[in-house]
Structure formats: structure tokens, C-alpha cells
Structure 1
Amino acid sequence: MSATSPLYGKTRDGLCAALVGEQAFAMIPSEAGYHFVKAWGLKRPIEDWTIADFHDGRTDPVDEVSFRRTVDEWATHVSQLANLNRRTVSLRISTPWGESQHAVVYTDGIVALSTASHGGFLLSPDRNRLVASRLRLADGCYEEDCAWVAVATAYPDLFTDFEKRHADDILAHVYPEAWEARHGKVLQPGQSRAKDRSRFDRDNADRLVVVSAIQSRQHPGSIECIAILGGRRSTGVSEPAGEERRYLVDEALYDIGAFGFIIDEARDRRYAGPSSFVGWTEA
């Protein structure tokens, strides 16, 4: 068995688990069934692992089929990574995120940099010219949270299948126009958070959207809300804030959903009494 082939087994407490190189995985019980957890560098055999060995970072529910699919995908990623010839080098330069502490050269003109707080890719001018215009940044600096997908999109041969799938997901959710141009398809509701957000803002431009909420001390069982037309806070002199209005909403009915709670003026009660918000004063 190669170092990147998954090894499956059961932990001491009966959990489904796997090992790929130094990376350990397991399924642990949750209210929704099971979720995916990880650990690094477990030296004992799988049958000696326990739930206490893993980082309990909550994820979407998984079953054994999706667990094995995720582990197999990671094993393929590790195998492909070994064939990409990325080089770690010492490189101390100034970046938009601070002085670099660590650098990985993907190829000439494409370097991934990390700093004490953040990081991202730095592209040479020649490399940057090949980035899609919708995603291109003039300085060639692409931060590691979202903007890095511009590099993966322009230079797919430098990334693993796992990284490219992750980049494509970010592209759809954060840069939907670029995703649609790349794939020649239109993202439907639920497939792009950015498009869904724009749709929400457009559909509720003339409705009161909650921008702050707190449990009411004065009215137990109610949520005290501050709402603004369209949920638009001030972005400066060119776009002043809308009028802030307070409402009391039944706690059982308060669900912010994906982008915000919409005040029902026929149901929710306009409120002008003592506030639970620190420092609140009537205009």
C-alpha cells in the first residue's frame, strides 16, 4: 500500500475512521447523525484511536459513503500534490498582508506567500496578464481566502483536483459572473451565495430588514430589533443611512434566514420604549 492510499478501520469506540499519510479522519456522532473530524500525526493504530484524539469542528452531516468519498478525494490530492514540484523557499518581502514568513514557488512568477496574519499569491506581471479580466487584480496580489481562485482558474495545471474543485465552489459563491462566463451556464437560486444575496437585496429594497437584534429584557419572549429600509446602513456621505426603526418580534417567529429578518409591519410591533441596546437613544 502506498503512503497516500487510504487505510480504513474502526476506532476503539467504534467510529468509522481512516488514515492518509499523517492525516487522520473519523465520523463522530452529532444531533444530525455524524459529522467529519480530523487529526494529525496519530502514531497509534486506528483501533487504538478514540474520539478524544480528534478536533470537533462541526461540518455538514456525513454518512459512510460521503465519508469514504471525502477521504479518497484527499488521498488523490496528496498523490497529485507530490507530482506538482512545488518548492518551499526562504523569501522575506513586503506583501499587502505584512512581511512574508514562508513562501512556496508553484512555478516561475507564481509564489504563495504567508505572513504572521494572512497570505496569498503574488504573480509576476507576465503571469498576471493571463488571469481572466473579471478576476484580475492590477498588483498581482491575490489573498488566500477567496481571490486566490483567480490563480487556480488561470493556471489549473498547477493545482490538484481537490484544490480546483474548492476554487470552483468559491468562484460560484463569491464571483458568480466569472463562474458563469467560465462555464457558459447560469447559476440558479441556491447555487451562489453572492447571487442569492443580490436577489434578496433587490427583492427587499422597499421592506424593513433587521440590522441589529437583541433579547428584550423589558419584554421577555420578544426580540428587540433595529430595522432599516432595505437593510442599508450608511456607507459614507454618498449613501447616508436610512431611518432606524425599532420593533418587538415574537421570539418564536424570529429566524434571520440566510440574509436577514424581514419585519412584518402587520404582525411585528413598532416599539419606542426602554431599550435593551446599550446606548440607544431616540433620534
Structure 2
Amino acid sequence: MNPAPSVAATYGRTADGDLAALVDDTAYAAIPGPRGLRIANAWRLSKPMSEWRRDDFHGAIAMVADAVGFHDHIAELVQHREELLRLDRKRCGGRRSTPWGQSQSNEIYADGVVFHSTASHGGFKLDRARNAKMPAALRVAGGWYEEDAEWSKVAAGFPHLFTAYERRHAEKTLRDYYPNCWEAIHGRFLKPGESVENDRRLFHQKHRQDWVVVSAIHSKDHPDMTDCIARLGGRRDHGHERRFLVPSREYVVGRFGFVIDEVRHKEV
């Protein structure tokens, strides 16, 4: 019996004093910010960890609160790499027409489950037999599942083809973008705060008769005020507009918009 594949992480500090880790050929740095530590990554850095600089890194794959969160995240990535080795996905050549253009590379997860990458986008193609086995609430007609959000439906339909790390992100993506699908397969309603899209829907239901800001600039005539254009329910596509002045110290846009208080906010 072949031994289980093993992946190790090496930890240290960068030249800037940031926490750092190396997993295979990917480098990670925990860069301090106003909301905690931003985990950035880089590929195949040739110099020692003690010489890594913040300029060597890019992006933000995660935000964590502290050093413990950084170590936990790296441990999860190590587990993810080990599970990927056991899954033994296969890359193959061949070009195929996809909804996002001609494929440039393909990765076979299982018979009938192939991920296609194009120059601009990508996604999964499930053949007819595999797509028929998808839960009805998740199934996309034609079997094409784009990579930004619909991939989560494939992970929910065939969880054994994905790592624990991927399944965790798929579960959150499904909740955030397809709350109705999530509720259908889990048999319960989502609570406020559990889904971005569901919370957006609840916000607009609650404020459909309120004036919600759709655009705002600092007022030229009133330095301490923000000049706001609002529409009923925040609908941008149609409807009457009204203009209000809001004290700039109060104008803090929430997740889905700023609601005008007609008693306190002066209409222009």
C-alpha cells in the first residue's frame, strides 16, 4: 500500500517582520491591516523567507484576526493540498467550445465532470448522465456551471470530488448567491446574516417604501454635508428621484445602501 501523501508547511518571518509560511512552491505572508491580517500569496519565490518583502506578494486570499488565525488557515491549506493529491485530478489537452470561449486547458475531476479554463473565464461541464444525477434544485440545464458561483452547485452535488477546503467555500458560496437552492437541499430557511443574497432580498423588502441612496457626493455648498440622490426602494432602473442633504458624519453606507430618514434629512 502506498503511503498517504504528505505536505508540510515551513513558518518564519519576512524582512518586514510579517508572519510567513511556505507550502510547496507557494509563499504566504500575513500583512497587518485595519481589520486584522491580510493573507497574501506569491508563487515560487527564489529567495529565503527572511528576504521576502511585501512587494513580492499580491492579492488577499483571506483575512484573519491574528497569528492563531494565520496558522489555522495555513494548516487548512496543507490539508487541502494533501487531499488534492489523493483525489488525483488529471489535466488534459484538447480544445472545446464553451459558453465562455474556446477552452485552453481542462481538468478531469471524474468521468463526466470536467473543468474547462478559457482566456477569460471558465467552469464545469457535466455530461448528460452526471447532470441527471444532480439534485433538481442545483441542476443547470445543459450542464455548464460557471466558475465564479455556479461551481458551488457541482461541489454540493458531488462532494466526494472536492476537498474539505473547497466544500467549505462551496457551502458559503451557495448560501450567499443561491439561497433558494441552499434552502431546498438543506430543508430549512436561512436566518438573517447567513446569506448575502438573502439579506439583500430582506433589506429591499423592508425598505421598498423608503428612499434609498443610489448616488452621493460631498456637497460643494455645504462642506459638512453629503449630497445624496435617492430612489424609492433603491431601484436604479426606474422611478422618481429625490435629493437630500445628509450630515457627512452620518453617511455610512451599509451593506446594501443608505436609507434616508425623511424627518431628519433635509430634502433639496
TM-score past 0.5 threshold: yes
Q: Residue 247 in 1 paired to residue 244 in 2?
A: yes
Deviation per residue, 1:44-100 (Å, 9 max, x gap): 332332333222648534311110111011111111111212111122121111111
How much does 1:33 deviate? 4.2
- Name the structure with the higher strand share: 2
**C-alpha distance in structure 1 between counterparts of 2:39 and 2:184, whole Å:** 33
Counterpart selection for 2:63 from 40, 51, 60: 60
Counterparts in 2 of 1:201 and 1:68: CA distance versus 1, 3 Å: same
**C-alpha distance in structure 2 between counterparts of 1:155 and 1:69, whole Å:** 26
The residue type paired with residue 6 of structure 1 is A
Which stretches of structure 1, 4 residues or more, deviate above 4 A after TM superposition? none
Partner of 2:193: 190
TM-score (norm 2): 0.92
SS in 2 for 1:113: strand
Q: Any unmatched runs of 5+ in structure 1? A: 235-240, 272-283
**C-alpha distance in structure 2 between counterparts of 1:11 and 1:215, whole Å:** 41
Q: Residue 264 in 1 paired to residue 261 in 2?
A: yes
Counterparts in 2 of 1:59 and 1:167: CA distance versus 1, 3 Å: closer
**C-alpha distance in structure 2 between counterparts of 1:141 and 1:232, whole Å:** 31
How much does 1:194 deviate? 1.2
Deviation per residue, 1:119-160 (Å, 9 max, x gap): 111111111112222221111111000011111111111111
Aligned positions, number: 264
Q: Any unmatched runs of 5+ in structure 2? A: none
Q: Residue 38 in 1 paired to residue 41 in 2?
A: yes
**C-alpha distance in structure 2 between counterparts of 1:140 and 1:11, whole Å:** 45
Q: Residue 88 in 1 paired to residue 91 in 2?
A: yes
Partner of 2:164: 161
Root mean square deviation, CA, Å: 1.8
Partner of 2:116: 113
Q: Is the Cα–Cα contact under 8 Å of residues 11 and 50 in structure 1 kept in the other structure?
A: yes
Q: Is the Cα–Cα contact under 8 Å of residues 132 and 150 in structure 1 kept in the other structure?
A: no
Which stretch has the larger CA shift, 81-90 or 172-181? 172-181
How much does 1:175 deviate? 1.4
Counterpart selection for 1:200 from 183, 194, 203: 203
Identity of paired residues, percent?
A: 45
**C-alpha distance in structure 2 between counterparts of 1:266 and 1:232, whole Å:** 21
